């Protein structure tokens, strides 16, 4: 099955909202990580989301090129081809894009989608994220409205953020942000809904204390009830149909009880990056440690080609990532929920 069409992607989000589950959204940087994600979704019989950050796109373009938009296009085109071998639906998404990167990252990707549509194909990505949370809310929403209009014209969904996800990811460091900025208010959620709903479909990354990165249990103070209270403020004013599709950022290391609680409040997508990076790297480290004399030409020896062939350890990384993603599907209750063939 090729990557989900815009109609199928909307149906995926609708099914998750109605069914009380969410999709793992994994950041990828290579064909290997794409393959690991696709295998995981297929084995879990779960639809899912594969996403590319600006840093991931830059890496994929090559160390001599460092073009985030170009690398994102390469990864997306690869995913379109690779997904044809699997019987699940996959949405393609781009992660945090700050305002200063809109013209160099988001708009070239929208142009690539426009070109594909003119050729009779679907858009390159089904959704994009604008992270303008660094701006005052009025400025954030003004930019969000303009970009949502551009996306809606291409049948693409825009993810926006109000409030700040703490920590550091891809060089964007918010670790010094005041604690109160880590929590989106009900008033913010109403303002986001009222500004964007008339324009087109959107995803909303409301923040409730979530933090990017890896932390010991108890270090991150999540308040999922913020999502409940914000949704209530919106639906009290605009009716039950106004419940928003929410996104959980910084989910790595969160308690399962907190993850599951967010599903009750409208979370349909949870980003996975830190945990899958570790799951990919750990088996590679084990391979190196167990085969050190083979991967290194010690004391003038020739080593063992079978152990230093990158395929010998990268496939172990792919499988490690796959297993972690299947756990994420279980955690988010998307296992066995594919709508492939139904939408």
pLDDT mean over 148-160: 98
pLDDT at 179 over 90: no
Residue-level pLDDT at 271: 95
- How far apart CA 58 and CA 64 sit, in angstroms, is 10
Q: Does 95 qualify as catalytic in the annotation?
A: yes
Q: Note whether 244 and 268 are within 8 A (CB).
A: no
What CATH number should be reported for the domain holding residue 56? 3.20.20.70
The more confidently predicted of residues 207 and 143 is 143
Q: Note whether 242 and 197 are within 8 A (CB).
A: yes
Does residue 336 fall inside a structural domain? no
Backbone phi and psi for residue 230, each to the nearest 5 degrees, phi listed first: -65, -45
- How far apart CA 247 and CA 160 sit, in angstroms, is 9
- Residue 227, classified by CB atoms within 10 Å of its CB into exposed (0-12), middle (13-18) or buried (19+), is buried
SS (H, E, C) 111-179: HHHHHHHHCCCCCCCCEEEECCCCCCHHHHHHHHHHHHHHHHCCCCEEEEEECCCECEECCEECCCCCH
Residue-level pLDDT at 343: 75
Task: At 97, list the tokens.
Answer: 């894009």
Residue-level pLDDT at 173: 43
pLDDT mean over 153-173: 72
pLDDT mean over 14-30: 98
Helix 225-238 / helix 186-196 crossing angle, nearest 10 deg: 50
pLDDT at 221 over 90: no
- How far apart CA 16 and CA 334 sit, in angstroms, is 8
Does residue 339 fall inside a structural domain? no
Residue-level pLDDT at 164: 57
Residue 165: pLDDT band with limits 50, 70, 90 = low
Does residue 38 fall inside a structural domain? yes
Does residue 1 fall inside a structural domain? no
CB neighbour list of residue 7: distance below 8 Å, 6 or more residues apart: 343
pLDDT mean over 134-153: 96
Count of Cβ atoms closer than 10 Å to residue 40 Cβ:
26
Does residue 63 fall inside a structural domain? yes
The range of the structural domain enclosing residue 266 comes to 6-331
For the segment 272-320, what is each residue's pLDDT rounded down to a tens digit? 999 999 999 999 999 999 999 999 998 889 999 999 999 999 999 999 9
Length, in residues, of the chain: 343
CB neighbour list of residue 241: distance below 8 Å, 6 or more residues apart: none
For the segment 185-205, what is each residue's pLDDT rounded down to a tens digit? 999 999 999 999 999 999 999
pLDDT at 220 over 90: no
pLDDT mean over 208-225: 66
Task: At 118, list the tokens.
Answer: 């003119």
pLDDT mean over 62-67: 98
Residue-level pLDDT at 168: 46
User: Which SS3 state, helix, strand or coil, does residue 276 take?
Assistant: helix
pLDDT mean over 202-231: 78
Q: Note whether 338 and 45 are within 8 A (CB).
A: yes
Does residue 341 fall inside a structural domain? no
Does residue 232 fall inside a structural domain? yes
Integer Rg of the chain from CA: 20
Residue-level pLDDT at 251: 74
Number of structural domains found in the chain:
1
**DSSP for 170-222?**
TTEE-TTS-GGGGB--HHHHHHHHHHHTTT--EEEEE-BS-BSS---TTSS--
Does residue 16 fall inside a structural domain? yes
- How far apart CA 234 and CA 54 sit, in angstroms, is 32
CA count, 13 A, side-chain hemisphere, 218: 0
Question: For the whole model, what pTM was predicted?
Answer: 0.92
The catalytic position among 14, 67, 87, 95 is 95
**How large is the greatest C-alpha to C-alpha distance in the chain, in angstroms?**
75
Query: Which residue is it, tokens 């709903």?
Result: 197
**Mean residue pLDDT across the chain:** 92
């Amino acid at each position: 099955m090729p990557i989900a069409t815009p109609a199928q992607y909307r149906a995926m989000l609708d099914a998750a909202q109605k069914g009380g589950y969410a999709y793992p959204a994994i950041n990828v940087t290579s064909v290997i990580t794409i393959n690991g994600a696709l295998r995981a979704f297929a084995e879990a019989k779960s639809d899912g989301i594969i996403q590319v950050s600006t840093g991931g796109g830059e890496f994929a373009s090559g160390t001599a090129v460092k073009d985030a938009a170009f690398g994102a296009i390469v990864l997306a085109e690869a995913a379109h081809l690779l997904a044809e071998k699997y019987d699940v639906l996959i949405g393609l998404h781009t992660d945090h894009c700050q305002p200063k990167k809109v013209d160099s990252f988001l708009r070239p990707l929208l142009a690539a989608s426009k070109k594909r549509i003119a050729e009779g194909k679907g858009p390159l990505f089904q959704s994009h994220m604008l992270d303008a949370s660094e701006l005052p809310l009025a400025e954030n929403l003004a930019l969000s409205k303009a970009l949502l209009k551009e996306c809606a014209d291409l049948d693409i969904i825009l993810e926006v953020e109000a409030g700040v996800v703490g920590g550091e990811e891809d060089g964007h460091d918010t670790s010094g942000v005041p604690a109160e900025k880590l929590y989106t208010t009900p008033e913010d959620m109403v303002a986001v809904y009222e500004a964007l709903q008339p324009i087109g479909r959107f995803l909303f990354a409301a923040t409730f204390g979530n933090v990017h990165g890896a932390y010991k249990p108890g270090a991150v103070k999540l308040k999922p009830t913020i999502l409940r209270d914000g949704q209530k403020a919106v639906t009290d004013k605009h009716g039950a149909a106004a419940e928003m599709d929410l996104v959980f950022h910084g989910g790595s290391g969160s308690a399962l009880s907190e993850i599951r609680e967010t599903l009750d409040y409208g979370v349909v997508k949870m980003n996975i990056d830190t945990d899958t990076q570790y799951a990919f790297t750990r088996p590679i480290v084990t391979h190196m440690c167990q085969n050190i004399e083979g991967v290194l030409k010690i004391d003038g020896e020739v080593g063992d080609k079978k152990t230093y062939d990158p395929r010998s350890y990268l496939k172990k990384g792919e499988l490690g990532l796959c297993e972690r993603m299947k756990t994420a599907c279980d955690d988010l209750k998307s296992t066995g929920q594919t709508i492939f063939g139904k939408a």
